[in-house]
Amino acid sequence: MKAVVTGGAGFIGSHLVDGLIARGDEVHIIDNLRSGRLENVHPQAVIHIEDVTGAKAGALILQIKPDVVFHLAAQADVTTSVLDPGLDETINISGTIRVLEACRLARVKKIIFASTSAVYGDIRKSPVSETDRTAPISYYGLSKQTAESYIRLYRRFYQLPYTILRYGNVYGPRQVAKGEGGVVAVFLNKLRKNEPLKIFGDGEQTRDFVYVRDIVRANIAAIDKGDGETIHVSTAQSTSLNQLIEILRRLHGSPIKTEYDDAKPGDIRHSCLNNRKAGQLLGFAPSFSVPEGLRETYTAETAHGASRRGRQP
């Protein structure tokens, strides 16, 4: 199979590229390297340093003629979206339209889209199901919801097959230490620097933390399954930030300093996603509990941090 992964040099995208290459697939990456890193890129992948909002990205898809496009490139930070909503529109909406149009013209067999639990906003229900009302409270969530609508209409008008995957809070090695969505990476970065962990709010806000390797499994399953569906990829388990810190404390083996501050505007209090549909349609069940995934992440990031320090003169 020939695949294009937009955002394939980023956190989730690079892990997906690894998984596809392990299957023997030919993989092309389209990434502007704004947040992605060349060091994340598998040596067997072909990387094209382009922005999905530009005409060249669409031309590349037409040239490559992939079987499947995994569209992961996005502006994914809630705080950034509040400060600059136009950036979300440009990347998450206009960029998605450009990718969709290229997929249509190239007769791509399927587009698999990375969406988010942020489309539900601060819904007072746990767990949330795919049929529940979407009501984003951030421009990021709104832009992803809008991109989903374009994808559904492209199927209606042009018969472009799709699967939309709404992720819980993804974590794992290579994650950038930035924003609420990357809280595990932020905390690990603080631990490396022996700095206190800063929590916005009381720490009792909960998230459905899902390990990146489970996200990869769901994306690969969606190649042949879940056509025309919107599906959660999650653990269906709630974990508070305070519980997360306690797990990290046990892994760290020493006390962890914490600081609490006011909650950020646009942040969601609780988020947990029902994953029953993923089991039914994709045959998906998470392989990693939060403690297991955090252990792998802590070990990998600690080793990576040590190797970086060892290279310093």
CB–CB of 221/194 below 8 Å? no
- Angstrom distance (rounded) from CA 119 to CA 81: 13
Length of the chain: 313
- Angstrom distance (rounded) from CA 140 to CA 266: 9
- What phi, psi does 146 have (nearest 5°)? -65, -40
Contacts of 265 (CB under 8 A, 6+ apart): 82
User: Is the bond preceding 127 in cis, omega lying within 30 degrees of 0?
Assistant: yes
Neighbouring CB atoms inside 10 A of 144's CB total 29
CB–CB of 172/301 below 8 Å? no
Q: Which two tokens stand for residue 207?
A: 């998230």
- What phi, psi does 86 have (nearest 5°)? -65, -30
Q: In 48-138, where does DSSP find H-type helix? A: 55-64, 78-83, 85-88, 95-106
**β-bridge partners, 259:** 198
DSSP letter assigned to residue 112: E
SS3 (DSSP) at 75: coil
- Angstrom distance (rounded) from CA 68 to CA 107: 10
SS3 (DSSP) at 122: coil
Residues with a known catalytic role: 140
CB–CB of 85/136 below 8 Å? no
CB–CB of 209/169 below 8 Å? yes
- Angstrom distance (rounded) from CA 111 to CA 71: 7
